[in-house]
Structure 1
């Protein structure tokens, strides 16, 4: 059995010989290279369509993050940019129910929900607007408060964010903050 120290010395001299200008052995010259596929980086394999007129590839799918009011994390939905806001709401509700997330939605009807840019946005997005024109991929979904689904949402502890803001605006007067200040003399 060879001595481990002598074995290491032999390997070191073989490796360092290439650095001193000696010709490499024949085994190094005949290394086989793997065959490459010229279509490896084609647009078909990346899931992209052919380049547009400006040279950039056209997007075929977009990943959207939609946070539903009361849920812990966003629902991720992969959709075509040509779809509308109504399609995104329907796909988000369908995915939320499929993943069996909590809290349970009061209804599975997508028309009972409004899509907003954020939880602080009071205006909901137009249902006929294209997703590519929105300019964002992160949205907030909250239940719509209307006369049709009041009884469906009554069991839910949270109400629509836009209706809460409207009710607060109606009930508050210009000096409503005075009632919180204690006057002492």
Structure 2
């Protein structure tokens, strides 16, 4: 006669086999497309509570306003100002009703805040003129509104440098003599280079 311990072990083995058959039948039924396995899987999935707020709610409301026909209203402008002899443009955010003089002052403040080089001597916005680009000869009127200019990229040029260029051209040949001097220096260097090449041969 079997002992109760062995009987208990045999019962546990039968119980485990029954559980394995049940899980295998559930897997096979879900594989074959029966609904009872899908129901069990759906019951096992836990619903996660919604903890994160809807981050795109503001964007959706703006998109809905545009879809209805009410255009989104601009409140500020992001402008790029390149300063003479400085690397890279300074990005400045100004109000919509700002003028050219406001942009010059804001660009100089931002330049000093970013500690860029070369350091611009403190003189204020009155020492600079704003141009559409570095190739534009005419400076913009200081009282003109920025939103009426039609551009987002500008060039800031110091008045002293502009005055020096005007004075050099007024003197008449000062700029051309400098160019001729450079040409003479280049020809001297070229001659010495050719002599060096002759030495190698």
Q: Which bin holds the TM-score, normalised by the shorter protein? A: 0.5 to 0.7
Q: Which runs of 4+ in 1 moved over 6 A?
A: none
**Structure with more helix by fraction:** 2
Q: 1:25 and 2:26 equivalent?
A: no
Please give the alpha-carbon distance, in whole angstroms, between the structure 1 residues aligned to 2:74 and 2:134: 28
1:25 partner SS: helix
* 1:135 CA displacement: 0.9
Please give the alpha-carbon distance, in whole angstroms, between the structure 2 residues aligned to 1:38 and 1:106: 45
> Of 100, 106, 119, which residue of structure 2 is paired with 1:91?
106
Between structure 1 and structure 2, the one with the greater Rg is: 2
Residues 1:114 and 1:18: Cα distance change in structure 2 (over 3 Å): farther
How many residue pairs match? The answer is: 142
Structure 1 match to 2:8: none
Residues 1:25 and 1:116: Cα distance change in structure 2 (over 3 Å): same
Kindly report which structure 2 residues correspond to 1:157-176, keeping only aligned pairs within 5 A, or say none.
159-160=161-162, 164=165, 168=169, 171=172
Please give the alpha-carbon distance, in whole angstroms, between the structure 1 residues aligned to 2:121 and 2:97: 29
Q: Is the 8 A contact 1:93 1:108 kept in 2?
A: no
* 1:40 CA displacement: 2.1
Kindly report which structure 2 residues correspond to 1:114-153, keeping only aligned pairs within 5 A, or say none.
114-145=129-160
Give unpaired runs (5+ residues) of structure 2. 1-22, 174-179, 184-201
* 1:103 CA displacement: 1.1
The two structures have a TM-score, normalised by structure 2, of 0.56
Kindly report which structure 2 residues correspond to 1:33-44, keeping only aligned pairs within 5 A, or say none.
33=50, 36-37=53-54, 40-41=57-58
